[in-house]
Each structure stands twice: as structure tokens, then as C-alpha cells.
A and B are shown apart, each in its own frame.
Chain A
Amino acid sequence: MADSTTNFSQKQASLEKKTRIGESLIHVVLFACALCSIFTTVGIVVILASQSALFFADPQVTLLGFFTSFEWQPSIGKFGILPLLNATLLTSFIAVVFATPFAILVAIFLSEFTKPRIKAIIKPILEVLAGIPSVVYGYFAVGTVTPVLQRVFGSDTVEFYNTASAGIVIGILILPILITMIDDSLTSVPNNLREASFGLGATRLQTSFGVVIPGSFSGIAAAFILGFSRAIGETMIVALAAGAGSALTWNPFRGAETMTGYIVRISGGDISYNSIDYNSIFAIGLVLFLATLGLNIISRRIVKKYQWNV
């Protein structure tokens, strides 16, 4: 024992940084892990761009015609994305319109009108709703919502495949996201604003609509933008309920294929690589990717910029 202590004092402790091979190896491995996410992004962009380039290189397709022509019929060489885009916007619009009243009212109720105890009961229910796979929602749209719509409005006006049914169910799908985000932004409004409003004699309702909602308006806007972006990217519901076959229509009771629906239908069938159909799904994927990416970035910017700094 004594020996070792003397040994220790005799030996000069080196303060130099040791090179540890194991440590640097781990560093490299972890760095490689982090690179994966970069590769994913690069991969998505490169693949969508290169395959789309093949699509636009086809003599049948022109860039201008792609964005301005009113017909999408690959079999007869008509490539205009507008019908697909229109159907996507229509279903997403219906979804957001359907979800808005529920989302706003429930979020206000949760953040302003109820005790944390009740909130703790309702939140898990919303989580369950958010965790249900979208294919189950698709089944729900085809098997339940469409028949109900047909019974209410008559099966002459409502086609079996229609955008209204898909839109409503997408609305239910994005509801939990909307409620959670709006609730978060309402709760983040500083409490002293509420107390000031109560001190002036305002009721809970007046405080909610006069102080809290204006105070978190940016957060609410961000929630809706994100919800819209989710609705655009939603696939299985529209693939099952919105119909196959593109149509340029604003009638929500008619069938119209969306961008995601087209991608699923084409890739689900047997198509050969390098055919024009195969390349077209990447061009549509590129439009979809850019649209959702843009909306997500805007949503995040808004949240970041107008945060309450308490």
C-alpha cells in the first residue's frame, strides 16, 4: 500500500491530452450516424429531381404544359398537374374547414376553461386518436362516412368515391395535431395578461377571445399551416375514398384523384421502370415535397418569430 503511494508521488502526472483510439473511433461512428440524416435529405432531393428530369425530358411533356394544362391522362399523353393539384387542395381545404371549429373550441376549452385534472383525461384520448394508422381512417371513410353522406344528400348527388368523405376524415386525422398545437400556443400566453384582464372585470370568455387568442394568433396560424401540410401529404385516406381517375372539379361530392392517390395507384400496379408513368410519380412527388416543405418551414418560422419570451 505504502509502496504504491510513493510510486505515485514519484511519477510525474502527465497533463497532456492522451490520444484514445477507442474514443476517436466512437466519435467517427457517431458522426457517420449523424450523416445518415443528411444523406436522407440529399437522397430525397437528388432522386426526385433526377427522376423528374427524366420525366420532363420526354418529348410528350413540357414544363409549361405540366403546370397549366387542365388534363392529366398519361395514357393519351396529357400531362397537366392541375386536376391532381386541385383535388389535393380541395380535400385539404375540406379537412381544415371541417376541423377548424372543433380544434379551436376544444383547444380553448382545454387551456382556458378546464382544470388540469380533466385535461389529463382528455389528452390521452387525443393521443389515441392521433396514433391510429391512416389506413384505418381510410377504411372508415369508405365504409362509414361515404354511406352516411349518400344517405344524407342522396346517392344521386354523392358519388361512391368523393372528395368530401376523404376531406372530412382527413379533418378528423389532423384534429389531434391542431388541438395540441393550438392548446400549446394558448397556454404559452403569459398569465399576467390573463390576470390583468380578469382584474379589469372581464369574464373568462372575454379574456379568451380578447386577450389570449390575439396573443397567440401566430401560434394558431402556424398550427393551421402545419395541419394543411399534413392534409396535403395524407395518402391512404384519399387513395381509398377520393377515387381513381383525375377530374378537374370543385364539386366535393364527385370523385377526383389527388397527387398522393395517383402515386399510390401507379406504384401499386405493375409498371416497368423508366416508363413515363413511373417517371411521372417522381415529378408529382417533387411538387408534393416542395409544397409540404415550404408550408412546414413557414409554420416553424412563425412559431419561432412570435414566441412569447417569458
Chain B
Amino acid sequence: MERITSHSSKHSEDINKALQWQPKPLRTRKRNETIMRTLMLIALYCTISFLFILAGSIINNAFGYVLFTYEIHPTEFSQGGEINELSHAKKIAILKENLRERVYITLDRKKPMEKRSSQDLSAIIFSRVLKASVLEAYSLFESLFQRGQLIENALTYPNADLIFRSWISPRFIRGEQSTNPLESGIWGAITGSVGVILVTILFSFPLGIGTAVYLCEYMPRSRWKNLLQINIYNLSGVPSIIYGLLGLVVFVRVFLPITSGQLFGFTSGAATDSGRTILSAGLTLTLLILPVIVINTQEAILSVPTYIKQASYGLGATKWQTVWHHIIPYCIGRILTGTILSVSRAIGETAPLVVVGASTFLTIVPNSIFSKYTTLPIQIYQWSARPQQEFQNLAAGAILVLLTIMLTLNFIAIMYRKRVQKKLARL
């Protein structure tokens, strides 16, 4: 009884409160709305500006002045200090004169000096004879706005050159890795990345589509199907480094004879006797992106209208004929778009590859899937981890290359999606 009265008294209190309630004046409400709207816009601009700050910090480091010194200054060989302007014969003469005999013969044996390009020769002169080394490197911001200070600073060093340098250049892209930041390149890393991604595509594409088709079209609705779906969703949320641990044990250690190529007799060249090969890295990334591809493909298959399936079955087609001739062609655009996007994410993946043992320093270009390898993100990681400015510059250059590759892939995916959508709209 008491409870009821207390309840009803609270109720009447509420009613009284409601009766006494006055709406806030119109002006206050308008003011509040304006304030919050401004805050939201600020938040939005901040979010977008993160992207621009990130881009700016990359570009800031990709170009800038470098102060470097030579062991032998180029003016000793040419009056203007321009090695590039020397004649072919003169360059060979310089090399013959300044290199130790054994080094010269080795280089000559690799590729005869006379047949080498002029640029190639000057590159060798730079690295072997002049031996340029970085004293200080600057960011683009410093190069533009503190130029006077930099020049003053440069004058205090004898025998040093201050040159504005783009850290991303054809030589950087085609060059081999080196301990000297002025000569270091990323060709090995690019080849490694491409190799790993090709292996990943080769395995993940059929496996992913196969799984999705099985789940959507073949598997009867049951508890097991539910379990499988939940399992795939959970896998897509597992941190990438865990896949690295999985790959380390399964592909690098247990499947060693296969992933190292010993089983197939690959032991020469850049091949290793350990399982730390392009193949095991590609397989690890396959497991990593498989759940995402399956989820994507399932969505694509579910978007196929039922009447298409029913028409096909109605004409007496078998299950596989329906899938192969009607369902997959209908949604191949969406499947491919999703796959390309997840592959482009795999290109940027670093943590699992560190765990499965990408090489940190590698001067040879991988030549088979059983080779040692390094990839672009691994290079970026190695260079970013070093505090000196010149390595930050190298990292920025490599990031620009990586982002260009990824953006190109994304662009292809978007264009492809548009084209397929247009085609479907005409159907």
C-alpha cells in the first residue's frame, strides 16, 4: 500500500514538474545550436586536416638540402666539379686510376666498363672514388625558410657541398640498398613487395571466393554454418601480428622444406636454407586477408537477385553451372573491388612480415619465391626507426612510393567498380 502511494506521489511530482516546465527561450536554443554546429565543423576540419598534416610531413621530408662531404672532391677531376660532364673514356680512366685493381676487375667482370652507361659510371665514381657522406640533411621547411642559416652552416665545413636533393628519384627507385643514405635505393624492396603480393593474390583469391561460394550457395543452413560465419568474423578482427606468429611457426618452421624450396631443389642464388622466404610471407598475408575477402565476396554474392538463380535452375542448370555462369559473372565487379582493396591493405602490412622474418638489410634483388626478401613497409620501418634526418628523408621517399602504389590500386578498383556498375545498369 505504502509503495503504491509513494509511487503515485512521485508520479504526481513528475506531472507537476512537467507542467511547470518552460521551454528554453528561442534565442538560447538557437545559440546552443550555433555553438555545437561550429564545434562539429571544427572537429570535421581537424579530422580532414590530420590527412593533410600527414601528407605534409611526408613531403616535408622527401625533399630538401643535404650537406655532404667527399673523401676526394670532384674538382680534382673536372674544373666545374661536374663528374657527369666528363667523357666516357675519362671516367674509365678515373676509375682505373683510383680503384684498387681487384675491385676494378670485379666490376669489369660483372659488366665491361666500356659497355656501361655514362650514368652508371658516374654513379660508381660517386660511391667508390669520391665517397660522398652526409654531414647533415634538412627538411623542405628548413630548406625554404632557413636557407641563409643553412648556407652559413655549410661554409664552416671545408670540402663540403650543399645540394638541394629530391630523395625520391629514378636512382632511388632503381637503386640497391646501401648503408650510405645518399646511394640507398629500394628496388629490392619493391621487387620483394610485388613478389609477396603476387603470392598472396594467387592463394587468397581462389580460396576466398571458394569459401564464400561454399558458404552462400552450397552449405545448408545449420548451426555449423553459423559457427563458420562467426569464426570468419572473429578472424577478421584478430590483430595482424598474431597472424605473424602463426606464419612463423607454420610456414617458417613446420613447412620449412616447402617454403624454403629445398623440396624442389632451390638452394642457389638468393635462396635461403631457412623458411624466411617470399613464399612464407605471401602465405602469411593470405591468411591475414582471407577473412576480409570472404566477407566481401559473401556480400557481393548475396546481392545477386534470386530471380537470376531461379531462372538458371529452372532451365535445368546444375549448381556449379549456376554459380559459374550466372552468379559470379553478375557480381564479379564487387568481388574484384573488395579483393583489390584488401590486397592494397596487404601491401602496407608490416608487423606480420617482421615476425615471419623479412630481411632488414639485403643488397640483392630476390629472384624466386624461395628468396630472402625485404618489402617497402619493412624498409620504411627500418629507416623511420633511425633518428638521423637523412634516414627520415629516405623513409619519406619510400612512403611516397608505397602510397603511390596503393593509391593506384585503389583508383583501379574504384574505376573498375564504376565501369561494372554502368554495365549492370544497362542490363
Contacts and interface: CB of A to CB of B under 8 A. Distances in A.
B233 A300 contact: yes
A36 B238 CA distance: 16
A264 B237 CA distance: 19
Interface stretch (A61-69, A184-192, A246-254, A287-295): A287-295
Interface residues of A, number: 80
B318 to A, nearest CB: 5
B258 interface: no
A172 B50 contact: yes
SS class of chain A's interface: helix, strand, loop or mixed? Answer: helix
Contacts, number: 229
Nearest to A27: B218
A136 B211 contact: no
B395 interface: yes
Contacts of B360: 268
Pick the most buried of B47, B218, B350: most chain A CB atoms within 10 A of its CB. B47
B207 interface: yes
Interface in B183-221: 206-207, 210-211, 213-215, 218-219
Given A109-B43, A133-B350, A33 B207 contact: yes
A125 to B, nearest CB: 6
B415 interface: no
A30 B218 contact: yes
B381 A143 contact: no
B129 interface: no
Interface residues of B, number: 85
Contacts of A136: 54, 58, 348, 380, 399, 402-403
A264 B348 contact: no
Interface stretch (A1-9, A37-45, A75-83): A37-45
A129 interface: yes
Contacts of B218: 27, 30-31
A203 B29 contact: yes
B25 interface: no
A109 B36 CA distance: 10
A70 interface: no
Interface string B51-91: 10110011001000000000000000000000000000000
B303 interface: no
Contact of A41 (B41, B234, B239, B351): B234
Interface stretch (B153-161, B163-171, B244-252, B261-269): B244-252
The SS class assigned to the B binding surface is: helix
Interface string B9-39: 0000000000000010000011011001101
A43 B250 contact: yes
Contacts of B23: 201
A101 B47 CA distance: 11
B46 interface: yes
Interface in B383-407: 384-385, 387, 392, 395-396, 399, 402-403, 406
Contacts of A144: 53-54, 57
B253 interface: yes
A106 B40 contact: yes
Contacts of B182: none
A285 interface: yes
A44 B384 contact: no
Contact of A142 (B43, B237, B241, B384): B384
A233 interface: yes
B40 A292 contact: no
A131 B54 contact: no
A96 interface: no
B237 A229 contact: yes
B320 A289 contact: no
B392 A143 contact: yes
In the complex, the 4 A-B pairs of residues with the closest C-beta atoms, listed nearest first: A133-B348, A233-B239, A33-B210, A105-B43
Given A172-B50, A273-B253, 15 more contacts: A22-B320, A33-B207, A34-B219, A47-B246, A113-B40, A122-B44, A125-B51, A131-B344, A132-B403, A133-B347, A135-B380, A136-B380, A203-B32, A205-B32, A281-B245
5 contacts: A30-B210, A113-B37, A235-B350, A236-B350, A240-B384
Interface of B: 23, 29-30, 32-33, 36-37, 39-44, 46-48, 50-51, 53-54, 57-58, 61, 206-207, 210-211, 213-215, 218-219, 228, 231-235, 237-246, 248-250, 253, 287, 290-291, 294, 318-320, 341, 344-345, 347-351, 354-355, 357, 360, 377, 380-381, 384-385, 387, 392, 395-396, 399, 402-403, 406, 410
